[in-house]
Amino acid sequence: MNHEDHQEETLHVGSGEFRMTKQRRVVYDVLLDQRDHPTAQEVYSRAKRRMPGISLATVYNCLDTMAQAGVVKQVNVARDATRFCPNLRPHAHFLCARCGEVLDVDLKPAADATLAWAMPDGASVEHLEVAMRGLCPTCASQPAQLV
Amino acid sequence: MNHEDHQEETLHVGSGEFRMTKQRRVVYDVLLDQRDHPTAQEVYSRAKRRMPGISLATVYNCLDTMAQAGVVKQVNVARDATRFCPNLRPHAHFLCARCGEVLDVDLKPAADATLAWAMPDGASVEHLEVAMRGLCPTCASQPAQLV
DNA sequence: ATGAGATCAAGAATTATTCTAAATAAGGAA
DNA sequence: TTCCTTATTTAGAATAATTCTTGATCTCAT
Ligand SMILES: [Mn+2]
Ligand SMILES: [Mn+2]
Ligand SMILES: [Zn+2]
Ligand SMILES: [Zn+2]
C-alpha cells in the first residue's frame, strides 16, 4: 500500500496537521485556482459552485484549519475582511487603490524585511506582515480617472 | 490678536483640516498622554474620565476626523480592533505575543522600507503598514511562562 | 441676535466572525 | 462488514467592532 492509494490522507504541513476532507479540498482548490486573495465570503461563493451544499461556517472552519496548519496565509489589508492566500513564500501585499486588486510582492532574495527598522534591543520577531497601498502598474499607467 | 487668544482654532495639518472642539481635544490628549495604542473603546473609557458626557460615537467620530486630517494614525495589528497612535514619524508596530504591549518601531534614518521587496514594475506605493509580532525585550529576557 | 452648517449624542443597523448544538461522516477495531 | 469513537459539517444564534441615522446642540460669520 502506497500513499497514493488513499484519497483521504492526513497532511502534515508546517506546524500543524489536518485531514484533507472533501470540503477542505474544495476550499483549498478555490484558493489555488484563482490567486486573487478572496475573502471568506468570496471563497464561499466560489466553493458553492463546486459543492453546492457547503456552508459558510465550514468555509470559515476550513480556512481557519488550514491557516493553523500553515497551508494558507491570512492576509490583512486595510480595514476590510480577512483575505486568504495559498502563497507560502515570504511576501507582502499590495492593494491597488484604484482597481482593488491585491498583489503579492515577493521578498527580494536574501533580503531582510526588518533591516529598515530600528528594532528595540532584545526583541525577537516571529512574524511580520506588510501591507502596501498605491496604484498597481496597470492603473498607474492609465490616464486619471474621470469618475 | 495672537493665536493663543482663541481656544477654538481651526487646525491645518497634513492633508485635512478640522476644528479642535472640546471633545476632539480630550480624545487627542488621551492619545498624547498614554502612548500605548489604545482601541476606540479604550480611548472612550479614558476620555470619559475627563469628560463624562462624551459618547462612544463621538470618540469614533473624533478619531476618524483626526485620522483623515493626518493628526493620528490608525494602527492595524493582528485581527482585533483598530488602535490609534499620535506618533507621526514613519514607524512600524510590534505586538508582544506575551504581554500584549504594542511598541513603535522607528524607520532607520534614510532607510527605505520598500527596499527589501520586489515591487511590481511601475507600481507606486502611497502607504505602507508594517505589523510585527514577537517577544518584546522585557518578555524575551524573562524565563519561560509557567501558566 | 440669527441662520447655516458643523458637530455631538443615543441608539439602531450592519458586518465579519465566532460560538453552539445537533447531524453526519470517517477511520479503526472486532 | 458492523460498531464505536471522534472529527467534521451545518444552520443558526451570538458577539463585537464599526457605521449609520436622526434629532439636538453648538459655532461662527453675518
Ligand atoms: Mn498573498
Ligand atoms: Mn504607533
Ligand atoms: Zn489597479
Ligand atoms: Zn512583552
Domain boundary among B83, B110, B131: B83
Higher pLDDT, A61 or B143: A61
Which tens digits make up the pLDDT trace of B64-108? 999 999 999 999 998 889 999 999 999 999 999 999 999 999 999
Domain boundary among A83, A109, A133: A83
Position B136 in a domain? yes
Cross-strand bridge partners of residue B91: B106
Q: Quote the pTM value.
A: 0.88
* Interface with chain B: mutation pick from A129, A135, A138, A142, highest number of B CBs within 10 Å: A129
Q: Is the pLDDT of residue A7 over 50?
A: no
Which tens digits make up the pLDDT trace of B7-18? 345 655 555 688
User: Which cell is B82 given?
Assistant: 483598530
Q: Do both B29 and B95 map to the same domain?
A: no
Q: What is the CATH number of the domain that holds B94?
A: 3.30.1490.190
Q: Cα(B3)–Cα(B12) distance, rounded to whole angstroms?
A: 13
- Cβ of residue A57 lies below 7 Å from strand C: yes
Q: Do both A77 and A27 map to the same domain?
A: yes
Which tens digits make up the pLDDT trace of A124-133? 999 999 999 9
Q: For residue A122, what are the contacts with CB-CB under 8 A and spacing of at least 6?
A: B137, B140, B141
B124-135, strands of its sheet edge to edge = A102-106, A91-96, A124-135, B124-135, B91-96, B102-106
Name the residue facing A123 among B112, B125, B134 (closest C-beta): B134
Three-state SS letters, chain B? CCHHHCCCCEEEECCEEEECCHHHHHHHHHHHHCCCCCEHHHHHHHHHHHCCCCCHHHHHHHHHHHHHHCCCEEECCCCCCCEEECCCCCEEEEEECCCCCEEEEEECCCCCCCCCECCCCCCEEEEEEEEEEEECHHHHCCCCCCC
Q: Do both A77 and A97 map to the same domain?
A: no
Q: What is the CATH number of the domain that holds A21?
A: 1.10.10.10
Q: Do both B68 and B127 map to the same domain?
A: no
Kindly give the pairing relationship between strand A16-19 and strand A91-96.
unpaired
Residue B139 Cα to ligand 2 midpoint, Å, equals 19
Using pLDDT thresholds of 50, 70 and 90, give the confidence band for residue A107.
very high
Q: Do both B50 and B15 map to the same domain?
A: yes
Q: Do both B52 and B114 map to the same domain?
A: no
- Residue A125: domain span: 90-141
Q: Do both A76 and A125 map to the same domain?
A: no
Q: Do both A24 and A76 map to the same domain?
A: yes
Q: Cα(B136)–Cα(B115) distance, rounded to whole angstroms?
A: 25
Q: Cα(A30)–Cα(A28) distance, rounded to whole angstroms?
A: 5
Position B3 in a domain? no
Higher pLDDT, B49 or A6: B49
Average pLDDT over residues B119-123: 95
Using pLDDT thresholds of 50, 70 and 90, give the confidence band for residue B3.
very low
A131 in contact with B, Cβ within 8 Å: yes
B133: which chain A residues are within 8 Å (Cβ-Cβ)?
A: 125-129
Q: Do both A100 and A137 map to the same domain?
A: yes
The total number of structural domains that make up chain B: 2
Position B2 in a domain? no
Q: Do both A96 and A76 map to the same domain?
A: no
Q: Do both A42 and A63 map to the same domain?
A: yes
Q: Do both B100 and B51 map to the same domain?
A: no
